[in-house]
Amino acid sequence: MANALHPAAVRDPAWLGRVFWTCAALALLFPALVACEFKPWVLFTPDNLRVTGRFITDFFPPKVDAEFLALVARETWRTVAIATAGIALALALAIPLTLLSTAALSVSALSGRMGMLPFALRQAIRVLLIVLRSVPELVWALVFVRVVGLGPTAGVLAIALTYAGMLGKVYGEILESGDAHATTALLRNGSSRLQAFLYGLLPQNAAELTSYTVYRWECAIRSSAVLGFVGAGGLGQQMDLSMKMFEGAEVATMLIVFMLLVWLADAVSSQLRRVLG
Amino acid sequence: MASGMAVALDALMARHPAASREAPPALKPLSLAVAAGEQVAVIGPSGAGKTTLLHALACALRPSGGALRLDDRDPWALPTRSLQSLRGELFLAPQVPPLPPRQRVITAVLAARLPRQSLLEALRSLILPTGIGAAHAALARFDLGEKLWERVDRISGGERQRVGLARALVSPGRLWLVDEPLSALDPARAAGAIATLTSAARERGITLVATLHQVEVALASFPRIVGLRNGELAFDLPAAEVSRERLARLYAQHEHELAAWTAEPDAASSAGAQPVPLCFR
Amino acid sequence: MNPGTPAGRDPQAALPAGAQPSLVPPPRPAWSLRCAPCAIALGAAVLGVASFATLDLQWARFFSADAMGRMARFLGELLHPSTDPKFLWRLMVSSLETLAMSGVGTLLAAFLGLLLAVPASRAHAKARAPWREPARLLLNALRSIPELVWAALLLISAGLGPLAGTLALALHTTGVLGRLFAEAIENAPPGPAFALRAHGVGSARVFLYATLPQVLPQLLSYTLYRWENNIRAAAVLGVVGAGGLGQMLAFHMGLFQMRETSSVLIAMMLLVALVDLGSYLMRRVLGR
């Protein structure tokens, strides 16, 4: 009979597995919810509602008097400046480290395996880059605020260190992923590593390297605003102050300015990356 | 059992949705009537407007002129809700089987039942399939019973195409519109699949319109043949009256599409006796 | 060639009258404002110089003997992490809290993101999608405010503790994931959805049976990537008082207890590595 049910067909073979994984997920989710004190209803207790309500109603209208706007403008520029200076220092750190660590410029690797000493040096630099980027910039900022005091210096240093780690790693990946033929040919013909980089590797990867740097600059602007919350200057520090004073109107203005800044940086960065191809 | 849907085209014109307004319509004024329960094969060279015709019949493409009548109703004059429920009575099987790769075969087949299911029933069927028996029976008719629980991306292209056809068997459609159902099948499978499709349609009295690239299969399996060329009706005849000259005229300048199948006229009917050069699209 | 001369721009003008045009094309000027990379480089340089000039950077203080000494002491103490069992127990509790914050926040965000991605995407080329722009605006707004700022805002209504951190992660990540999800949904192959729509199936059922099964692996992999990101964010959110390891870090660093700080930093790195590994394994399993 054509319509007879195949014995294997009566029951969904995936059913037991689905039940098991659902139960497992719930069993994991419950302690997780407990651990992060997930009680969203506390947001709606009368006390909290009153505080939130007052704070939010303060948002409208945002504070727009000239003096305050001038302050916000100055702090916004500082945020951008901290990000830019941080990226500049990060570049100053990342470029030499990348040049030292990239296997694409290894002379000893031309004739088979890389020598022991160069290999050890490259690995050491890689470890340094990993350490630099695996400590969050906020932690660096906390450290530097303790060392040099409140202000933009801590922010610039924090961004410089973390982003040097990120840029160094990705630069290395970009340089090693491309076609190495041009570079090895130059090295084989006896040009120095720097010459091989300038004439072989750099022209080949310049667009990709720049567009990644621009993208990181955009990220650094967001970071630098956040770093203000631990006292590293800029828009974040002002926002933190206003929040602590429950000045809803000031917070609203700065949030709007911050969003505009992020959108602007996003637009500039994507436009630049489009131009660079 | 549902009875078939009657179809009438009166000087229907249609344009490919991607085509510009100035481009000539893919279907020039075309008149055609298909009675309830009838089985029609549409043949013609590539670019003749076969797929556009099926899309127009499926109410997936709004005609740019003329009238379409399904069971004596003009679908485009109906309110949206009625049009949607009318669409539920049509079943269009596109040439590339529209199956999400990581879905299981059973879910892909049961998706054809969605027009009759509420959102809640549909959700429940995603968690634990309802209608395993019907899906298995439909697949079994296409020799795919054991693929019921397999994932769509783990079966072959030919099997996927037959899963797409098995969908028709579980759908509530009363008019099956099948676009090139055999393009990924070897001749033996092709003959079996088309036999299954036509006999299933006949059992239920469903109207079947299929476009076919394989002229011999069309002549052997369908009582009525419609020839399309350049969006115009070339002929509309019982299969027995389609002569070799007519076919030659229909496929003029596209002989290679015909040659693969007429080179060995018996190939398709004596299914799978020997390998035959295949015409893939 | 001097790039400033007109010869650099107009090769014909440089040729003496009647001379045969040379087969060697004149070099393109190496420097001109009209070449985009040059203009960008100039702009970047100006921005960089202006940044350093206007910031009151205290290099003198940073490089002073005092600061250097303090840095050296910090680093020295960082090399000797605290291993006091009582402290390690608290550290583990905080680590689990951070892990839970990142997990619950990401899960919540995936759910809300999907909920917002559906109106924020066009189901098919001709769909009107009236909610697309408003939903995208909302997603962009959620996304453009960083987790830490959300956390600082939420502290006002949720109070100190991990709840504010979890919700902050969820809000920011909803914006990020919602946008990615919407892109994925719009880029899904249209065939299966078309077939079901032609069959008169409503849009919710089309989404469940045709679009979602096609994009689900991509959505899961985006979510896992975001989880990796969120564990890093969750680790530092506590700095503003939103629970987890960050709160311990801020506390011990504030008291200059560098040995405890060092243990917290090590716990953070282990946690990040653990989540990266977990996410990698899950993606491998799902990729099959």
- Residues A175 and B157: their CA atoms lie apart, in Å, by 41
Q: Examine the pLDDT at A197 and tell me if it is beyond 90.
A: no
Average pLDDT, 10 consecutive residues per value, chain B (281 residues): 78 76 76 90 87 88 86 88 88 88 90 89 88 89 88 89 91 91 85 91 92 88 90 88 87 73 41 33 29
Return the pLDDT at B176. Answer: 93
Instruction: Give me the residue spans of the domains in chain C.
Output: 83-287
Residue A76 predicted with pLDDT over 60 = yes
- Alpha-carbon distances of A66 from A70, A71, C22, rounded to whole Å: 6, 9, 63
DSSP state of B184: T
Tokens found for residue A127? 């470890």
User: Which domain-ending residue is among B134, B156, B171?
Assistant: B171
Residues B188 and B82 in one domain: yes
State whether B220 and B166 are in the same domain.
no
Residue B119 shares a structural domain with residue B238: no
Residue whose pair of structure tokens reads 């350093």 in the numeric block: C52
Does the distance separating the beta carbons of C107 and A48 come in below 8 Å?
A: no
Mean pLDDT within C1-28: 52
Under an 8 A CB cutoff, do B88 and C199 touch?
yes
What pLDDT score was predicted for residue A78? Answer: 93
Question: Which residues, listed in sequence order, are joined to residue B92 by a DSSP beta bridge?
Answer: B177
Q: Show which subunits contact B, needing at least 3 CB pairs below 8 angstroms.
A: A, C
Q: Residues B112, B126: one domain? A: yes
Q: What is the pLDDT of residues C15-74, one digit of tens each?
A: 454 455 556 776 666 666 667 778 888 888 999 999 898 888 878 877 888 888 888 888
pLDDT at A139 over 80: yes
pLDDT at A2: 44
* Chain B residues in contact with C214 (beta carbon < 8 A): 100-102
Tokens of A109: 């690797």
- Same domain for B183 and B249: yes
Sheet holding B65-70, edge to edge: B27-34, B7-14, B65-70
Interface list for C 190-219 with B (CB within 8 A): 191-202, 204-205, 208-210, 213-214, 216-217
Beta carbons of C149 and A226 less than 8 Å apart: yes
**Spatial distance between the Cα atoms of C166 and A245, rounded to a whole number of angstroms:** 24
List all residues 6 or more positions away from B184 whose beta carbon is below 8 Å from its beta carbon.
B157, B158, B160, B161, B280
CATH class, domain C83-287, is mainly alpha
For residue A19, the chain B residue with the least C-alpha distance is B127
Q: What is the pLDDT of residue C34?
A: 66
| Residue C116, strand partner residues | none
The alpha carbon torsion through A163, A169, A174, A175 (nearest 10 deg) reads: 110
- For residues B194 and B60, state if they share a domain: yes
Asked if A9 lies within 8 A of B127 by C-beta distance, the reply is no
Regarding whether B35 and B140 lie in a shared domain, the answer is no
CA distance to partner chain B, nearest, from residue C258 (Å): 52
In chain B, which among 250-269 make CB contacts under 8 A with chain C? none
Co-location of B63 and B116 in the same domain? no
Inter-chain touch B136–A9, beta carbons under 8 Å: yes
Q: Report the residue of C126, C209, C214, C285 to disrupt the B interface, i.e. the one with the largest count of B CBs within 10 Å.
A: C209
| pLDDT band at residue A95 under the 50/70/90 scheme | very high
Shortest Cα–Cα distance, A133 to chain B (Å): 37
- Taking the CA of residue C204 and the nearest CA in chain B, the distance in Å comes to 7
More confident residue, C9 or B220: B220
User: B94 in a domain, yes or no?
Assistant: no
Both B77 and B186 in one domain: the answer is yes
Kindly list the residues from chain C whose CB atom is less than 8 angstroms away from the CB atom of residue B87. 198-200
Chain C residues touching residue A229 (CB < 8 angstroms): 148-149, 152, 239-240
Q: Tell me, what's the pLDDT at A48?
A: 83
Q: How many domains does chain B have?
A: 2
3-class SS of residue A101: helix
Integer angstrom CA distances of residue B248 from A117, B244, B259: 78, 6, 10
B4, B76: one domain: yes
pLDDT digits (tens, 9 = 90+) for C87-99: 999 999 999 999 9
Q: Do both B132 and B160 map to the same domain?
A: yes
Helix boundaries (H) for C55-187 = 59-62, 65-78, 85-117, 132-144, 147-158, 162-187
What residues of chain C lie within 8 A of the CB of A166, using their CB?
A: none
Average pLDDT of the residues in A244-262: 90
B131 → chain A, closest CA residue? A10
Count of CB pairs separated by less than 8 Å, A with C: 168
Picking from B58, B115, B126, the nearest residue to C208 by CB comes out as B126
pLDDT in tens, A42-54: 888 888 888 888 8
| Residues 6+ positions from A198 with CB-CB distance below 8 Å | none
Query: Which residues does C231 contact at the CB level (< 8 Å), separation at least 6?
Result: C98, C99, C102, C271, C272, C275
Q: Which residues of B touch C197 (CB under 8 A)?
A: 60
Q: Residue B66 belongs to a domain with what CATH number?
A: 3.40.50.300
For residue C198, the chain B residues in CB contact (below 8 A) are: 55, 58-60, 87, 90, 92
Torsion A184-A185-A189-A191 (CA) sign? negative
A30: helix, strand or coil: helix
**Does position A31 have pLDDT exceeding 60, yes or no?**
yes
Q: What is the mean pLDDT of residues A113-126?
A: 86
B198 and B276 inside one domain: yes
- Kindly report the nearest CA distance between residue C60 and chain A, in angstroms: 9
The domain boundary residue, chosen from B152, B171, B190: B171
The pTM for the full model equals: 0.84
Pairwise CB contact (< 8 Å): B128 & A12? yes
Query: Domain span at residue B133?
Result: 99-171
Which of A2, A9, A15 faces B148 most closely, judged by CB atoms?
A: A9
**pLDDT for C33:** 61
Assess contact for B268 and B191: CB atoms under 8 A: yes
Average pLDDT score over residue span C125-152: 89
Candidates A35, A160, A147; CA nearest to A92 is A160
Predicted confidence at residue B209, as pLDDT, reads 93
Chain A residues in contact with B145 (beta carbon < 8 A): 6, 9
**Nearest by CB to B146, which of A5, A6, A10?**
A6
Q: Shortest CA distance to C68 belongs to which of A233, A129, A144, A86? A: A144
Domains of chain A, by residue range, sit at 66-276
Give the pLDDT score at B63.
Answer: 86
Least confident piece of the model among B276-280, C4-8, C158-162: B276-280
CATH superfamily of A66-276: MetI-like (1.10.3720.10)
The radius of gyration of chain C from alpha carbons, rounded to an integer in Å, stands at 28
Q: Chain C closest CA to B172's CA: distance in Å? A: 10
Task: Give the pLDDT score at B198.
Answer: 92
Find all residues with CB under 8 Å of A230, minimum gap 6, and list them: A138, A141, A142, A145, A154, C239
3-state helix, strand, coil in chain B (%, to 5): 40, 20, 40
Instruction: Report CB contact under 8 Å: A5, B136.
Output: yes
In percent, how much of chain C has pLDDT > 70?
A: 89
Whole-angstrom distance, CA of residue A276 vs CA of residue B16:
38
